Amino acid sequence: MIAKKTVKNQITLPKRVVALFPDVEYFEVQVQDGQIVLKPVIPDRIERVRDKLASLGIEQKDIQEAIAWARKRDD
């Protein structure tokens, strides 16, 4: 099976692969030995992360600001 990367860096997974993970919406992406590895993310795990962020008082705007800060170049 082949998946093509688009100009927007998106990859569509083949139907035969997706059919094996019917309830999975998110995948963890890792690089191992020069290969891209996708691991299904358990929905409960995502909820636990969201709950932890909420308990720490971290909101969506905080995450967006942190990403913008990290991407800012020191010129």
Considering the chain, what percentage of its residues have pLDDT values greater than 70? Answer: 96
With the CA atoms of 45, 48, 52 and 53 taken in that order, what torsion angle do they form, in degrees rounded to the nearest 10?
70
**42 or 54, which is more confident:** 54
Q: Where residue 74 falls among pLDDT bands split at 50, 70, 90?
A: low
H or E segment at 48? helix 43-55
35-40/27-32 β-pairing = antiparallel
Residue 53: partners with Cβ closer than 8 Å, 6 or more residues away:
59, 63
Question: Average pLDDT in the 19-27 region?
Answer: 89
Q: Which pLDDT does position 29 carry in this prediction? A: 94
Whole-number pLDDT of residue 75: 54
